[in-house]
Amino acid sequence: MELGRANLDVFADTVLELARQDRDVLVVTSDSRGSGKLTHYGETLPDQIIELGIAEQNVIGISAGLASAGKKVFATSPACFITARAFEQIKNDVAYSDQPVRIVGISAGVSYGALGATHHSLHDYAALRAVHNITIIAPADNFEAREAIKAIHHIDHPVYIRFGKAAIPHVHGADSTFTIGKAAMVREGHDLTFIACGETVPVALAAAELLAAQGIECRVLSMHTIKPLDEQAISQAARETGAIITVEEHSIHGGLGEACAAVLMQQGPVVPFKIVGFPDETMVTGSQKEIFNHYGISPDGLAQRARQLLGDQQPTR
């Protein structure tokens, strides 16, 4: 896989492109234009960036008011803060009030690495999945990030999108398409499916390549939209490949894995199944990659999980 750029950079470029064409596009920040790679945007379009200082609740509340008056707001702030400090504003001012704010959670998951638990966002899928009327997107690579930002430029309802700040490999080819709510198959296979989201997708794809060398062909789905979930793709993967491993940069509680499990338990088929994410403990100290490796979100770690799942349990398809 060829290494691309950070999704954060892709976001900054794409939103600048959109804002140049559409004067209603506004970026709202919480002293976060630097960490959001939005310094150039702010210099280029100073009238289309609203700085609110270190005040995430204010970012969401004011964004709701701006959206109600027709502004196309990208409320941009570290995922850890915007989805926790401003959770009630997201729930009431945006989702319940149906104000079409695009909430952009930057440096998500464990992107901040050794800065520790205050800066990790391992709760955001779980918290927002339980809030009515908000779409949740975690793009896997630069293609998905760009397409997602373009797609949410024209929306009528709230969206939360999150990504990290490390350069990530391309998982999509030139002929790929992106549709919100529709899983993207980035690798076909018949022995097992990795259902991954966000920046764990390239890791799952690398694991699939390791396993292919051992004669195990894995499907890899980029489940970039965590809500609404592409239930059909999940059931189809279970039917056609007989085993599923979910992978996410999030707590194992309440995220993509449990969402997929609920689909299979209620709609079937029930197949050997494993959720890979972060356990319910204080995260080990390290870089994003070191933390991933520690918890088995690595090509080797995922390949081993796949072999265990296929060896330990008999598929019931």
User: Taking the C-alpha atoms of 104, 143, 5 and 71 in order, what is their torsion angle to the nearest 10 degrees?
Assistant: -30
Find the shortest distance in angstroms from Cβ 23 to another protein. Answer: 9
Kindly state whether residue 31 participates in binding another protein, applying the rule CB under 8 A: no
Find the shortest distance in angstroms from Cβ 60 to another protein. Answer: 8
Kindly state whether residue 55 participates in binding another protein, applying the rule CB under 8 A: yes
Count, residues near another protein per rule CB under 8 A: 28
> Which of the stretches 97-105, 247-255, 260-268, 299-307 binds another protein when contact is defined by CB under 8 A?
97-105
Q: Where are the beta strands (DSSP E) in the chain?
A: 3-6, 25-29, 49-51, 72-78, 102-106, 135-137, 159-162, 167-169, 184-187, 192-196, 218-222, 225-227, 244-251, 273-278
> Which of the stretches 65-73, 184-192, 241-249, 279-287 binds another protein when contact is defined by CB under 8 A?
65-73
Would you say 28 or 186 has its CB closer to another protein?
28
Would you say 32 or 241 has its CB closer to another protein?
32
Single out the residue of 31, 105, 24 nearest to residue 68, CA to CA: 24
Residue 5: Cβ within 10 Å count: 16
- Distance from chain centroid for Cα 166: 14
- Distance from chain centroid for Cα 173: 19
> Which of the stretches 89-97, 108-116, 146-154, 177-185 binds another protein when contact is defined by CB under 8 A?
89-97
Q: Is the dihedral of CA 245, 246, 251, 254 positive or negative?
A: negative
How far is 216 from 192, CA to CA, in rounded Å? 8
Kindly state whether residue 151 participates in binding another protein, applying the rule CB under 8 A: no
Kindly state whether residue 233 participates in binding another protein, applying the rule CB under 8 A: no
Q: Which residues are catalytic?
A: 56
Find the shortest distance in angstroms from Cβ 149 to another protein. Answer: 21
Find the shortest distance in angstroms from Cβ 82 to another protein. Answer: 14
* Contact residue for another protein among 43, 88, 240, 300 (CB under 8 A): 88
Kindly state whether residue 218 participates in binding another protein, applying the rule CB under 8 A: no
Kindly state whether residue 156 participates in binding another protein, applying the rule CB under 8 A: no
Q: Is the dihedral of CA 179, 22, 134, 38 positive or negative?
A: positive
Kindly state whether residue 172 participates in binding another protein, applying the rule CB under 8 A: no
Kindly state whether residue 26 participates in binding another protein, applying the rule CB under 8 A: yes
Kindly state whether residue 57 participates in binding another protein, applying the rule CB under 8 A: yes
Kindly state whether residue 50 participates in binding another protein, applying the rule CB under 8 A: yes
Would you say 42 or 286 has its CB closer to another protein?
42
Q: Are 59 and 31 in contact (CB under 8 A)?
A: no
Q: Are 27 and 195 in contact (CB under 8 A)?
A: no
Q: Are 166 and 217 in contact (CB under 8 A)?
A: no
Q: Are 63 and 47 in contact (CB under 8 A)?
A: no
Residues in the site for another protein, rule: CB under 8 A? 26, 47, 50, 52-53, 55, 57-58, 60-71, 88-89, 92-93, 96-99
